[in-house]
Structure 1
């Protein structure tokens, strides 16, 4: 660092040596130093002025630009922000295949209290009880007069209730904005929609989360703002769903059943057009799950279509005959020995009636012979039967897109022996859900391809792996048609719609093993119209019983089949199906002219 001396000593000494006055030199030096300091200060002041000028120019440009943007933009109401708004998350609507609303959002309010700000807590408690009779007065008084500074009173209230609370006029009662989930159709499709509740909550906002059904299955999609509020389109048809629920509820009551379910499925796309489980509930007021030790199937929350794992009886027989035909072991008219009882070790397999010594494969289905299908299962073998049922999707939970479907895991024999194969051929020893059965019958209806049941609207056929040939599928449909026209499902006949199907009646198992003698699961699985197959309909009744011709009837032919027939009558026109008049038999009379 160079230091400049305050006094020029060399010049001063020289001046003294020459006899000159050194003060002049010092004054000149001091004046020069002052001039240097003034120049430096001037430069600093000029720099600061330049910076300030630049700042003001930028500020004026920013303000001018903002004014230009505001002048050229459309006027809009300013958005207010409040504490907790970060958790207020708009939830997308759920609609049916025609775009009709199944679930949407509704603006409401919550009610909370700040006891320190209350003027007359006892009066407030009494008036709140008048508005909300379900509240506990003693609890309110304790909270209002205690040390609590905050408490929720109601998480959601109606506009009428809000006005009534407002009329109380106490400053300790506060309202918070809320967005609740609304199901405008009440109980309609309750088990599919499931329901929603509040998740993360604040005084000024609360997030809505799904708790069951598609609301929970597609929770991330419904809450994702990146979707721009695009609704979730389901495969359900609101009109068909309503008609199905009405018919099934009437049939359940008429047949004195404790529960019922029905599934209508498009055999080519896999779309479930309607799915009903009774008893049901209102998702707007979703009940609490059953307590421990309570049979889940007794709860209205229990979805019998995808959670109910049942032995579905003789509805499985068509799979045994289809596989036997696919393997080339038999044809529709092949004769099978049905003399019984069929013995396997100490076990005996019998038919419900005595059908004689032999039947054709077609008659085995029409008459519903246990012995006949067991004979076919012996020819098929255990491993081939397991592989066939696996291709039909019978060994794993269905991929149906509601969370409850994951719990519908089929019950399989721990040791799949030849006896197991024989009983499974007529629907005993294996338990599946009605949704599994619908997918299996869809394979017969669409020409032999497996199609996964789905609750989402599809754009076209969703056929997957081939399970059987088209010829075998067509022969199987012919057999199912004869079951209705000639066999055990005559009450399922619907003129004009050529219904084909199979009845199944299975004894209901006891919780601790064994079977009830007087309780059954009755099922009718059908395809319509058989001449141009499109839809699969499965109807299952839990413990039906009807008095007919002086006797108690529990079999599916007397219970599930007529309910299915009534359902086809109601929903076929809604599906756009025109009745098809089958040609009458040719008359034996020959007209001649003279």
Structure 2
């Protein structure tokens, strides 16, 4: 910058020549310099004020924008952040075959405390115990005043409980958002769904993992974020399942049974439309597994349909008759020697009552003759019988897609002798689950093809390997129908629906060996409609006992059959089966010809 001189020589000399005062020139230049300096200072100050004004304008705009966002968003408590892997919270829904929700996700909150931030620990404990009566006052106060800085209070709380805790007003009580599994239908299909619990947990998230049933079986699918919008579709029908549970529960109580199970299965697709095990539980509040005792069936968590390995008694007789007919050894009208008792070494096989010295194969099934069935097994032979039952899936656990099914492996004789073949022919000496039995009867009902029971919705028939010819299967179905119309399952007559089936009553084994004298497992395996079977229904009662005609009745014909008949009458319309009105006999009219 070039400064202008205060006493320029040219102007000084010119002023002196003219007789003017040179000092006036210096004063003028000083004044001009001061004026210039004031202008520059003012411009500099105005620029600074402009910049400061823009800065404050931006700051106030940012504050106003943040306040607007906070005013329109949900309030959240501050949470402590920790390093680590992110926790996946989303879990796919589970729906029934109609798309109705069986299991879904529900946003809730956890409650934890940071003790160093508590203002009044005593008041906080007093108020929390009022909100959560299950908390121990002394223990909680000791923790709040102890050395620990972080404590979980509740892993999940309701909105009402959250508001009550919020009203305490202590900054040390904090909430963490999380997702929990909700079963909106309560105990309906509890043993199928199983339940879920928390895996990895943080204050702001918790991982939901399956612990039983399909929740555990398909845990990887349900936890995959890619399947968040693709619910797992089960074969169950929610309406049918609820109705089946209601009827079976009433029947179990009426028959004074310790427990009960039922399975409704499509004979062509293998879809299990309904499966019930009682007693049951609410998966929203899944009880703890028993830690003592040797009888797992006392727990409501025990799934009798796939974990209950029982001798199912005379329900096996139809398999023996079907195999004998399929091998060409007999026909439905073949006469069999039924004189008894049938002795084999020191063992003897007897019938419930004396049915005569001989009966046809059909009559053997209708009257449920142990001797006649054992005679058929002798003709079949032990090796061929074992192979046939293996084809029916009776020798391995069922492929039913819940984790509990893996524990339902049949109990087989160590030496499959001819005597074993004779007792197995009428359902003794071999123990299977009701799910095995349902799959076996489905093969008889659909024309002789094996179908694998499944809990997943199918697109159409899933018929597998051929077990028996269509002709043999048809003859076996006819025998099952005769059992209802003429034999031990007369209580299974349902108006409008033709039912076929077979009863089975087996002595209940003692846990330490031998059998109870007054406890049985009563089973009725049925197919309907008998003329064109679409469904198999198996009903099993554990230790039933009912008084009828002045006597104590425990057999399946008096216990399991009436319950199954009531279930068919209730469920068939829900399944879309229209009743067939059977014409009554014409009485009081004489036909004449012209």
TM-score under structure 2 length normalisation: 0.85
Aligned equivalent of 2:170: 170
5+ residue gaps, structure 2, are 1-71
- Per-residue deviation, 1:324: 0.3
8 Å contact kept, 1:114–1:149: yes
Q: Could you list the per-position Cα deviations for residues 135-164 of structure 1 after superposition, in whole angstroms to 9, with x for gaps in the alignment? A: 111210110011011110000000000000
Aligned equivalent of 1:132: 132
Aligned equivalent of 2:387: 387
**What is the SS of the residue equivalent to 1:389?**
helix
Aligned equivalent of 1:509: 509
Q: Could you list the per-position Cα deviations for residues 94-136 of structure 1 after superposition, in whole angstroms to 9, with x for gaps in the alignment? A: 0000000000000000000111111111211111110000111
Aligned equivalent of 1:88: 88
Aligned equivalent of 1:225: 225
**Structure 1 residue 204 corresponds to structure 2 residue 201:** no
- Per-residue deviation, 1:582: 3.3
1: CA distance, partners of 2:245 / 2:119? 52
2: CA distance, partners of 1:588 / 1:484? 29
Aligned equivalent of 1:535: 535
**What is the SS of the residue equivalent to 1:86?**
coil
Aligned equivalent of 2:574: 574
1: CA distance, partners of 2:152 / 2:131? 15
8 Å contact kept, 2:521–2:544: yes
2: CA distance, partners of 1:155 / 1:426? 53
8 Å contact kept, 2:441–2:525: yes
**What is the SS of the residue equivalent to 1:511?**
coil
- Per-residue deviation, 1:302: 0.2
Aligned equivalent of 1:214: 214
- Flag the 1:127–1:531 CA change in 2: closer, same or farther, 3 A: same
Indicate the RMSD between aligned Cα atoms, in angstroms: 1.7
2: CA distance, partners of 1:588 / 1:372? 43
- Per-residue deviation, 1:583: 4.5
Q: Could you list the per-position Cα deviations for residues 145-193 of structure 1 after superposition, in whole angstroms to 9, with x for gaps in the alignment? A: 1101111000000000000000111111110001000000000000000
- Per-residue deviation, 1:293: 2.7
5+ residue gaps, structure 1, are 1-76
Aligned equivalent of 2:62: none
Q: Could you list the per-position Cα deviations for residues 10-43 of structure 1 after superposition, in whole angstroms to 9, with x for gaps in the alignment? A: xxxxxxxxxxxxxxxxxxxxxxxxxxxxxxxxxx
- Per-residue deviation, 1:295: 1.7
Q: Could you list the per-position Cα deviations for residues 560-586 of structure 1 after superposition, in whole angstroms to 9, with x for gaps in the alignment? A: 000000000100000000011235568
TM-score under structure 1 length normalisation: 0.85
Aligned equivalent of 2:404: 404
- Per-residue deviation, 1:588: 11
8 Å contact kept, 2:393–2:436: yes
8 Å contact kept, 1:507–1:517: yes
1: CA distance, partners of 2:422 / 2:593? 61
**Matches of residues 520-559 of structure 1 in structure 2 within 5 Å?**
520-559=520-559
* Large movers: runs of 4+ above 3 Å: 77-85, 582-590
**Matches of residues 22-421 of structure 1 in structure 2 within 5 Å?**
86-421=86-421
- Per-residue deviation, 1:351: 0.1
8 Å contact kept, 1:235–1:457: yes
8 Å contact kept, 1:333–1:362: yes
Aligned equivalent of 1:499: 499
1: CA distance, partners of 2:586 / 2:498? 19
Q: Could you list the per-position Cα deviations for residues 358-400 of structure 1 after superposition, in whole angstroms to 9, with x for gaps in the alignment? A: 0000000000000000000011001100000000000000000
8 Å contact kept, 2:181–2:196: yes
**Matches of residues 580-591 of structure 1 in structure 2 within 5 Å?**
580-584=580-584, 591=591
8 Å contact kept, 1:506–1:522: yes
**What is the SS of the residue equivalent to 2:130?**
helix
**What is the SS of the residue equivalent to 1:307?**
coil
Q: Could you list the per-position Cα deviations for residues 453-496 of structure 1 after superposition, in whole angstroms to 9, with x for gaps in the alignment? A: 00000000000000000011110010000000110000111011
8 Å contact kept, 2:295–2:511: no
2: CA distance, partners of 1:217 / 1:108? 25
